[in-house]
Chain A
Amino acid sequence: VNDRERPNPDALLAAIQGKTARSQRGRLKVFLGMCPGVGKTYAMLEAAQRELKAGRDVIIAYVETHGRKETDALAIGLPLIARKLYEHRGLALSEMDLDAVLSRHPQLALVDELAHTNAPGSRHPKRWQDVNELLDAGVDVFTTVNVQHLESRADTVRQITGAEIRETVPDSLLDAATLELVNLPPAELVARLQQGKVYLAERAASAGQNFFQESNLTALRELSLRLVADHVSVDTQEFHRSQADAGAWKTGHRLMVAVSASPLSESLIRWTRRMADSLRCPWLAVHVENTRPLEDPVQSRLQQNVALARTLGAEVVDTTDDNLARGLLRIARQNNVSQIILGKPAGATLFEWFRAGKLFRQLTRDSGDIDLQIVRAEKTGVVLPPRRWRWRPTSDGKQYVIAALTLAIVGLLNALLVQFTGPRVPGFVFLLAVVLLALFLGRGPMLFAGAASALAWNYFFLPPRFTFIITSTEDGVLFGLYFVVAIVLGQLVARIRAQELAERRREERATALYHLTREFAQAGTRDEVVWQLVAEVNRGFQASTAVVLPGEKSLAAHPDSSLVLSEKELQVAEWTFLNRQPAGKFTDNLPGAEALHLPLTTERSVVGVLSVSLPEKALPLARRDLLEAYARQAALVLDRVALRAIGEQSKLVAESERLSNALLNSISHELRTPLAAITSAISALAESKKPDGTFDRSMVAEIQEASARLNRLVGNLLNVTRLESGHMRLNLDWCDVRDLVQTTVRVLERELSGRTVTLEMADKLPLVRLDFTLIQQSLANLMLNAVSHTPPGTPIRLQVRTEPLWLVFNIADDGPGLSPELLPRIFDKFFRAPGAPAGGSGLGLAIVKGFVEAHGGRIFAANRPGGGAEFTLRLPQTEIQPVETA
């Protein structure tokens, strides 16, 4: 059964893929009725038939005709999508098959009864959420709803009819919709009702007697007429949106309502939404948390109210303050609120009036330029047991014991003291003890300590002792003062501490966010950001976390994730990514999932999904807010990193363009110069006509030299290519250093002719492990470099020595040395010192550096103290020379 209830992954995937093809959101048309039986379905089908005739692709996704013939007849010709069957507690429930509709993807879908609650196990708990998804997928939808099901009107309808409305639809869904009122005069409806033409579900039937009274119907009709009149058409709203950019919303109204667990709260929230609707302004719902912890039923009521505000389109703000009025005003000022909506409790108790009055007075005094609007609010839902009468020990019993023990000890000390001082001093000692205790204990224990110490002082010390009787007026006054001071002091200190605690909690949250922001600031790459995010969420929420990011083909969890996402969870994450809405646990979208999936969205785009598996059963508002703040922060940073990567990419492209330009310039010069020499020498040879048939030897020498130079250049270019390809593999082998040096000198025999080359090396050198060819070429390049930068005949010295773990080559000359300002650049590719002799390509030293670094070695260039340049190669020798066995 369970499996059948779960959304089919394939269907889900198909839906997701279908969605990617969407062009824009579908249009919603709502057939609004004042109550059941006015003929909404009929009107909808009529309109659908017109659309069908106009050539549109219309399907029936879900229509309930209740077997009425006229309505059935209208459904003919409209293709029907088979419903999906669910089994719940032995009942067969049929629901709209959302996935089938999505994969069919018609132009227009008919979905009856927008306010319907789906069978358990469906993708969304409510049908209006299904409709929302259809609209997101670009499908136009016709739907029906009764005015009582609108979130903002439910309250009024209940007042009119006394019927409790459970199924509601958020007004925000209707914002972008076209409304069509299905109007029927109340008398006619009553007549239809009597003819049995109105189908009533069993539950509705029982309420029917009251509900369908003509007076009620008239009121409902008026309500729906007003709703339609108030409703801003899509076009007008678009117009207002564009005006909003010009700052109309900023200068206009901004409403704020306080959200609490109070039974008044719900009706206040609805009222504010209606008000905001008619003013067409944004509104805030603020919850001011105080230091007292909430019991579970209160907490869940609060969350319901906050969720209600969120569905109704409020921006929800959560703050902490022990003083409600102060907290509200702070948030109001921060958000440029123009009006605060307050409720005057209907049927309130005297105490409620007292408390409300206190709040009103403070708000009135401190609100400044913010208007206050006091509206009548009604209690809704089950009335929770009032908090003030409940004994809620905020401190555990241990604190009382500590207070009692401390007082007992102080009492004993006083008993000693009283013999020397008289009865009044113990009172002050007690007071001191009470003040000190206040630093550690809660309110309750302090109340106890204050009272107990006063009584103890009176009983044990004030004459007549061991009675509660006070004889002297002086003592009486003192006792009275003591009593008041002890209790007030204790309460004051305890309150300060409680505030401190709340402050600390807020501080911790701010710190957590700050910490994250700081870590993010240091993270330079996507991987680092993900790593930090996962670490911070895991630490802060004791959760396991996955970050799902778009890969080349599909979404995939980042390898640093600590949460392993099942196939199903990954699909929920995909849904979140595509719909930019939270999904999974603690949400209305696919609530059956095991993890909470939050989209990582910026204003520009959605960059990924944060999937968190939390240990708790319910997610408190503050924690959810913090988690969402994490997600927002992470999204911003990920976006920034992505942008930077794009920037760096283009910088890289520019750099490589610069390099390839340098390369082209250098190559064309280097290739053409020897070619020119060869060409001109050959033409000279061809034209020279010596009578004896001999030819000019010098021309031949020119050709030979130019060819050698060309060949060397090609070799250098090949080496550079090999180095830059990143595929250079070292051919490490045991080598005889003497052999290496000798081979180098032999290879350069011609270039080194006429110079003294001193080889300095020990007779016995160990075998070393390196790539013989590469190091031999490096040495040759360095020698050639020395040859080309020193006057002919200048001696060159090559020294080899071994240090522990290093093999060191040093090539020195007695030439003019290196210019200090050019030193840092001499190993750059295509760098040629100004005034360098012709024939070099500017690659030789770059190649040496590449080869040496490929060995894990280093190269240094320096001027010798006595003049001349020297180059030092240091190659690591970590392996132990093999022992010869043969």
Chain B
Amino acid sequence: MNSHAVKTSAIALIIDDEPQIRRLLRVTLESNGYEVFDAVDGNQGIVQAAQCRPDVILLDLGLPDLDGVAVLKRIREWSRVPVIILSVRDREQDKIAALDAGADDFVTKPFSSGELLARLRTTLRRSQPASGASVFRAGKIEVDLSARNVRKQGQEVKLTPTEYALLRLLVIHGGKVLTHRQLLTEVWGPNAVEQTHYLRVHIAHLREKLEENSAQPAFIITEPGVGYRAVGWE
């Protein structure tokens, strides 16, 4: 694995009203080869997002002028730039609201810099123009999107169409949390957003079929109360 998959001097925009957090993030990011801009409130952040054309935005939810989700929605009106939420709010409703509004990831304060950098890399890699790769691998599992088949240790695994659709969605958004709503809308359609039990059952089936030890899943992780995330896929 290439530990510096980001292009050199990717531009990061920090929108946070706490000077200490801005300072720490700036030091961490700059020492890891990012070019850093910052904004102290929502309105300034929106302007900066347009002016300095960042590759990724780190957005706090509790801003003095606008709510973070509102800022995110404004940015999403014209840009698909990856946005990572950095917030002290840890209730799942907050996470779901931000993710459903188009956030790419959600990191709860306090966080370790290592974790943040890893999330940044994943997010940036995902946002790069499709590499054309249609084969994803995690451990002994291989998903070939063009051939629409899934193999485990070379053996083809039989998946139902729904299970396949679910797996495909998680894999192409590898590393990103997909909320229940997003998964249900994509796989079952907008009328199914309340039917979370579909998800529970199919995720359980997928894990049974794919995971080495379904008691300790390694490839499809549950984000309590929020959704699921596929990890370790390349």
Q: Is A773 an interface residue (CB 8 A)?
A: yes
Known: A736-B204, A773-B225, A886-B192. A759 touches B215 (CB 8 A): yes
Do A884 and B197 have beta carbons less than 8 Å apart? yes
B50-107 at interface with A (beta carbon < 8 Å) = 90, 92-93
Q: Is A213 an interface residue (CB 8 A)?
A: no
Q: Is A336 an interface residue (CB 8 A)?
A: no
How far is it, in angstroms, between the C-alpha of A747 and the C-alpha of B214 when the chains are bound? 16
A705-740 at interface with B (beta carbon < 8 Å) = 707, 711, 715, 731, 733-736, 738-739
- Name the A residues within 8 Å of B197 (CB-CB): 734, 767, 881-882, 884
The distance from the CB of A877 to the nearest CB of chain B, in whole angstroms, is 14
Do B224 and A743 have beta carbons less than 8 Å apart? yes
Which chain B residue shows the least CB distance to A718?
B90
Which chain B residue shows the least CB distance to A733?
B196
Q: Is A746 an interface residue (CB 8 A)?
A: yes
How far is it, in angstroms, between the C-alpha of A735 and the C-alpha of B110 when the chains are bound? 28
Do A767 and B200 have beta carbons less than 8 Å apart? yes
Q: Is A742 an interface residue (CB 8 A)?
A: yes
How far is it, in angstroms, between the C-alpha of A747 and the C-alpha of B221 when the chains are bound? 11
- Name the B residues within 8 Å of A305 (CB-CB): none
Counting chain B CB atoms within 10 Å of each CB, which of A707, A735, A742 scores highest? A742
Q: Is A776 an interface residue (CB 8 A)?
A: yes
- Name the A residues within 8 Å of B225 (CB-CB): 731, 771-773
Chain B 185-220 interface mask (CB, 8 Å, partner A; 1/0): 000100010011110110110000000001111000
Q: Is B149 an interface residue (CB 8 A)?
A: no
The distance from the CB of B130 to the nearest CB of chain A, in whole angstroms, is 29
Q: Is A256 an interface residue (CB 8 A)?
A: no
Q: Is A745 an interface residue (CB 8 A)?
A: yes
Do A773 and B92 have beta carbons less than 8 Å apart? yes
Contact partner, B200, options A711, A735, A759, Cβ 8 Å = A735
- Name the B residues within 8 Å of A886 (CB-CB): 162, 188, 192, 195, 198
- Name the B residues within 8 Å of A759 (CB-CB): 215
Do B201 and A884 have beta carbons less than 8 Å apart? yes
Q: Is B134 an interface residue (CB 8 A)?
A: no
Do B224 and A884 have beta carbons less than 8 Å apart? no
Do A742 and B222 have beta carbons less than 8 Å apart? yes
How far is it, in angstroms, between the C-alpha of A402 and the C-alpha of B224 when the chains are bound? 89
A771-804 at interface with B (beta carbon < 8 Å) = 771-773, 776
Contact partner, B224, options A707, A734, A738, A772, Cβ 8 Å = A772
How far is it, in angstroms, between the C-alpha of A735 and the C-alpha of B90 when the chains are bound? 20
How far is it, in angstroms, between the C-alpha of A745 and the C-alpha of B214 when the chains are bound? 13
The distance from the CB of B190 to the nearest CB of chain A, in whole angstroms, is 14
Counting chain A CB atoms within 10 Å of each CB, which of B188, B214, B222, B224 scores highest? B224
Counting chain A CB atoms within 10 Å of each CB, which of B196, B198, B203, B225 scores highest? B225
The distance from the CB of B103 to the nearest CB of chain A, in whole angstroms, is 19
The distance from the CB of A91 to the nearest CB of chain B, in whole angstroms, is 77
How far is it, in angstroms, between the C-alpha of A715 and the C-alpha of B216 when the chains are bound? 26
Do B198 and A884 have beta carbons less than 8 Å apart? yes
Do A743 and B222 have beta carbons less than 8 Å apart? yes
Chain A 868-886 interface mask (CB, 8 Å, partner B; 1/0): 0000000000000110101
- Name the B residues within 8 Å of A771 (CB-CB): 225
How far is it, in angstroms, between the C-alpha of A445 and the C-alpha of B188 when the chains are bound? 94
Contact partner, B92, options A731, A736, A745, Cβ 8 Å = A731
Do B110 and A739 have beta carbons less than 8 Å apart? no
B161-202 at interface with A (beta carbon < 8 Å) = 162, 188, 192, 195-198, 200-201
- Name the A residues within 8 Å of B216 (CB-CB): 742, 745-746
Do B200 and A736 have beta carbons less than 8 Å apart? yes
- Name the B residues within 8 Å of A772 (CB-CB): 224-225
- Name the B residues within 8 Å of A734 (CB-CB): 196-197, 200
- Name the B residues within 8 Å of A747 (CB-CB): 224
How far is it, in angstroms, between the C-alpha of A767 and the C-alpha of B188 when the chains are bound? 19
Which chain B residue shows the least CB distance to A780?
B224
How far is it, in angstroms, between the C-alpha of A736 and the C-alpha of B200 when the chains are bound? 6
Counting chain B CB atoms within 10 Å of each CB, which of A731, A738, A745, A886 scores highest? A886
How far is it, in angstroms, between the C-alpha of A742 and the C-alpha of B215 when the chains are bound? 6
Which chain A residue shows the least CB distance to B93?
A731
Do A739 and B215 have beta carbons less than 8 Å apart? no
How far is it, in angstroms, between the C-alpha of A735 and the C-alpha of B92 when the chains are bound? 15
- Name the B residues within 8 Å of A767 (CB-CB): 197, 200-201
Do B224 and A736 have beta carbons less than 8 Å apart? no
Which chain B residue shows the least CB distance to A769?
B197
- Name the A residues within 8 Å of B215 (CB-CB): 738, 742, 759
How far is it, in angstroms, between the C-alpha of A711 and the C-alpha of B214 when the chains are bound? 30
The distance from the CB of B179 to the nearest CB of chain A, in whole angstroms, is 12
A575-605 at interface with B (beta carbon < 8 Å) = none
Which chain B residue shows the least CB distance to A777?
B224
How far is it, in angstroms, between the C-alpha of A190 and the C-alpha of B90 when the chains are bound? 103
Which chain A residue shows the least CB distance to B194?
A733
The distance from the CB of B86 to the nearest CB of chain A, in whole angstroms, is 15
The distance from the CB of A235 to the nearest CB of chain B, in whole angstroms, is 72
How far is it, in angstroms, between the C-alpha of A51 and the C-alpha of B162 when the chains are bound? 101
- Name the B residues within 8 Å of A739 (CB-CB): 200, 203-204, 222
Which chain B residue shows the least CB distance to A741?
B215
How far is it, in angstroms, between the C-alpha of A742 and the C-alpha of B211 when the chains are bound? 13
The distance from the CB of B199 to the nearest CB of chain A, in whole angstroms, is 9
The distance from the CB of A695 to the nearest CB of chain B, in whole angstroms, is 16
Contact partner, A773, options B162, B198, B214, B224, Cβ 8 Å = B224
- Name the A residues within 8 Å of B201 (CB-CB): 736, 767, 884
The distance from the CB of A225 to the nearest CB of chain B, in whole angstroms, is 89
Which chain B residue shows the least CB distance to A773?
B225
Known: A731-B92, A739-B204, A746-B216. A711 touches B222 (CB 8 A): no
Which chain A residue shows the least CB distance to B201?
A884
Contact partner, A736, options B188, B195, B203, Cβ 8 Å = B203
- Name the B residues within 8 Å of A711 (CB-CB): 110
Which chain A residue shows the least CB distance to B217?
A742
Which chain B residue shows the least CB distance to A744?
B224
The distance from the CB of A765 to the nearest CB of chain B, in whole angstroms, is 9
How far is it, in angstroms, between the C-alpha of A772 and the C-alpha of B228 when the chains are bound? 13
The distance from the CB of A698 to the nearest CB of chain B, in whole angstroms, is 18
Which chain B residue shows the least CB distance to A743?
B222
How far is it, in angstroms, between the C-alpha of A742 and the C-alpha of B110 when the chains are bound? 24
How far is it, in angstroms, between the C-alpha of A886 and the C-alpha of B203 when the chains are bound? 13
The distance from the CB of B95 to the nearest CB of chain A, in whole angstroms, is 10
- Name the A residues within 8 Å of B224 (CB-CB): 743, 747, 772-773, 776
How far is it, in angstroms, between the C-alpha of A731 and the C-alpha of B94 when the chains are bound? 13
The distance from the CB of B35 to the nearest CB of chain A, in whole angstroms, is 27
How far is it, in angstroms, between the C-alpha of A204 and the C-alpha of B200 when the chains are bound? 102
- Name the A residues within 8 Å of B90 (CB-CB): 715
Do A707 and B217 have beta carbons less than 8 Å apart? no
The distance from the CB of B208 to the nearest CB of chain A, in whole angstroms, is 9
- Name the B residues within 8 Å of A715 (CB-CB): 90
How far is it, in angstroms, between the C-alpha of A736 and the C-alpha of B203 when the chains are bound? 9
How far is it, in angstroms, between the C-alpha of A739 and the C-alpha of B216 when the chains are bound? 9
- Name the A residues within 8 Å of B93 (CB-CB): 731
Which chain A residue shows the least CB distance to B188?
A886
- Name the B residues within 8 Å of A736 (CB-CB): 200-201, 203-204
How far is it, in angstroms, between the C-alpha of A738 and the C-alpha of B207 when the chains are bound? 11
Chain B 133-176 interface mask (CB, 8 Å, partner A; 1/0): 00000000000000000000000000000100000000000000
The distance from the CB of B94 to the nearest CB of chain A, in whole angstroms, is 12
Which chain B residue shows the least CB distance to A774?
B225
- Name the A residues within 8 Å of B203 (CB-CB): 736, 739
- Cβ-closest 3 pairs across A and B: A734-B197, A773-B225, A736-B200
Name 28 interchain pairs, CB-CB below 8 A, sorted by A: A711-B110, A733-B196, A734-B197, A735-B200, A736-B203, A738-B204, A738-B215, A739-B200, A739-B203, A739-B204, A739-B222, A742-B215, A743-B222, A745-B216, A747-B224, A767-B197, A767-B200, A767-B201, A772-B225, A773-B92, A773-B224, A773-B225, A882-B195, A882-B197, A884-B197, A886-B162, A886-B192, A886-B195
Known pairs A731-B93, A886-B162; list 15 more (Cβ under 8 Å): A731-B92, A731-B225, A733-B196, A734-B196, A734-B197, A738-B215, A739-B203, A742-B215, A742-B222, A745-B216, A767-B201, A772-B224, A773-B92, A882-B195, A882-B197
